[in-house]
Structure 1
Amino acid sequence: MVATKLDGNATAAALKSEIAERVSALKAEGIVPGLGTLLVGEDPGSISYVAGKHRDCAEVGIESVRVDLPASATEQDVRDAIAELNANDAVTGYIVQLPLPAGIDENAMLELMDPAKDSDGLHPTNLGRLVLGVSGELHSPLPCTPAGIVEMLGRYGVTLPGKHVVVVGRGLTVGRPLGLLLTRKGIDATVTLTHSRTPNLEKEVRRADVVIAAVGVPGLIKAHWVKPGAAVLDVGITRVVDDTTGKARLIGDVDSGVAEVAGFLSPVPGGVGPMTRAMLVENVVAEAERRAGL
């Protein structure tokens, strides 16, 4: 068996094409969605990721506002930048790129955001609404990586109702909100959320119909851990610098041998990452549509 590749690049491209059509409809009504980004410092991964988000904006035809602060920025500098983005009518939604430099309280900064403009879906209000499963006027943006995972599985025909999903990792951006999203009515998966203190992790993974690894430990998920035919999504990213070339490359949490056992496999890079960025744009456009009553 050779796993079917869950191609995040191709899937994200198809999704962005659909989003571009929605943007055109909004512009016909005189509405131009805009994404803002707040980047503090010079983390290479963050710089690359933010640049990709602005390229996505250009592809779908929405505006983008970029705010970059130096690593020496104070917490008050960050507070002021967030206040400006909250007040900027040209910004339909924005993100505070994490991690922030040491000494700046990330949770406190996220709480300062206008929840309706929180395109990452990480504001406490939005996470609370995810817990409640509310919709309608209280609909909130979903966390991008969990939403991208569900979207990609659906487009590849991987059904989730009644399936046993094992999520490896309990982080704020993936593990915890993903468990909530997968158990939402209409998705209806059964989720086991595992972490570094889970005894016999191999046994838990082996039981899964779908495995989602998001811990940042290269090659953690081995081929013999995986149930034959299971869908495996690699969300872990470790940046490794080649001592000879000096160039960095990304390594995921899933060992290459899993491709010989799994039914579906998302790679690193080119798997979940592009879907995360696409869902960010989706959140911005969806908020613009909500405001317009569309």
Structure 2
Amino acid sequence: MNTGPHRVAIFVYDGVTLLDVAGPAEVFKEANRFGADYRIVLLSPTGEDVTSSLGVRLAVDGAVSAEPAFDTLLVAGSDHYPRAQVPADLADAVRLPVAAAGRVASICTGAFVLAAAGVLDGKRATTHWQVAHELAARYPACRVEPDAIYVRDGTTYTSAGVTAGIDLALALVEEDHGPDLARDVARALVVYMQRAGGQSQFSAPLQGPPPRSAALRTITDVVTANPRGEHSLTELARHLNVSTRQLTRLFHDELSTTPARYVENIRFDLARALLDQGHTATQAATLAGFPSYESMRRVFARKLSISPAAYQRRFATARRAQPG
């Protein structure tokens, strides 16, 4: 564990997401209250102040290239770069500092900056669930893990969306100073030391675009209209008067799944919506068409790594029924 000063540089630039900067910085600042010694600086590509995504101007301490090597270099994210290519000068600005840093980490879409600089080539990484597919497509040399809250690969760390930067910063504090100090920081900030489940629990419903073929659209419409119905492979094939093998091939070719898994996904999405609305887990299982609560619980465990009850505690509406 480190006991001396630990230099943390946060790399910022115009359009940077403010919470990507403030969240981790607050963790390190809070850790200092419990005995750590983090020295935090904000650095930009040129040393000029930058304007955040909210329009708030951030005063920086200098240019990233003008500073000595850091113990930790954090690259904050921006909404800009999943939608556009990272400018060459921005990627160039972090390439040498990354090589000299003791460890480097990205917050949310900061992974796009690291990837553009070649830092994530051959490494495991993550980013916000909404743009993980774009990171994987744009930088195929990077092995993207879309469900992870954060990923460590050697001395390179990447984290999921926005508040996951706090999770990552806590993990770095624990690495430096042990679990007791990190736990004190988590308690002071009223956050989980380690949140349960992956990013999937925050993601939007799973259904993609409708199938191209009219035949398969007929089947998906039947399932979507009545998730509680009898949707065995045999029953679904009977709707189209095709063999079960042919129907399975249609699902595989167009949707890259099986009929049974498609039905399960529809029921899973409906169950999530019902839990969000305040239905009990048992009610949600019945209304969504699961054979039992236990079968729904197994699906939640497989997809989200948490139980339906845990999911509901996190995401059910904060409103409470008022007496009539």
More strand by share: 1
Q: Same fold (TM over 0.5)?
A: no
Report the TM-score when normalising by structure 2.
Answer: 0.35
More helix by share: 2
Q: Which has the higher contact order (CA 8 A, sep 6+)?
A: 1
Larger radius of gyration: 2
